[in-house]
Amino acid sequence: MACTLSLGRKEPCKDVVGGIRAVYFADFGDLGAITYDATDTDVITTFGSAPSVYEYEVKGTSSFTQNIQANRENGTTAFEQVLELTLHKLTKEDHKELKLLAFGRPHVLVEDYNGNVFVAGLEHGMDVTGGTIVTGGAMGDLSGYTLTLTGMERKPANFLAQGDNGQDSITDTTATITAGTNS
């Protein structure tokens, strides 16, 4: 593997925002053989199967961070992917699904407010490493769930290819999306 740099970077315009809009969970192994863009292996164009993904809308304090874990002495580099979710409202249906998330190690597609979709836990899945089921003490406190999912991968989370709308598109990858029905 060549470690030769291939381009520079200018200071970009201030036309982006932070935050994630939704996350999509797929059972580990259900993505099938991944097809990458012919000119860019950091971009996924399709999944090998038609995986079922389960959409969780989020708003507010949820975040996705990728930490570079490099060790000069060992000659290793890995990418820790950390997804922090806050899900409002306690329900028996969510209770059951979040328990299944904690028992499994799903692949997670993270959609941000800029139209990017990242595939986290692509090789090894992501594990629930912490969280809470909470009903606060005051009327304005959280009644819901917090979850931390962590993955460790050899590469940063891949982007999904741009769809016809100029933004990353989960539906263009052959995935079947199941949206939430709760109220």
The label of the residue with tokens 């090789």 reads 123
| pLDDT at residue 34, as a whole number | 86
Q: What is the mean pLDDT of residues 103-117?
A: 94
Residue 165 pLDDT greater than 60, yes or no: no
> Is the separation of the CB atoms in 118 and 64 below 8 Å?
yes
Q: What is the mean pLDDT of residues 123-129?
A: 97
Give residues with Cβ within 8 angstroms of 13, minimum separation 6: none
Give residues with Cβ within 8 angstroms of 145, minimum separation 6: 85, 86, 87, 90, 94, 98, 131, 132, 133, 134
| pLDDT at residue 45, as a whole number | 85
> Is the separation of the CB atoms in 12 and 101 below 8 Å?
no
The label of the residue with tokens 């996705």 reads 64
Tokens of 150: 């962590």
Residue 13 pLDDT greater than 90, yes or no: no
Confidence of residue 42 (pLDDT cuts 50, 70, 90): confident
| pLDDT at residue 40, as a whole number | 81
**Does 2 or 120 have the greater pLDDT score?**
120
* Average pLDDT score over the chain: 88
| pLDDT at residue 1, as a whole number | 57
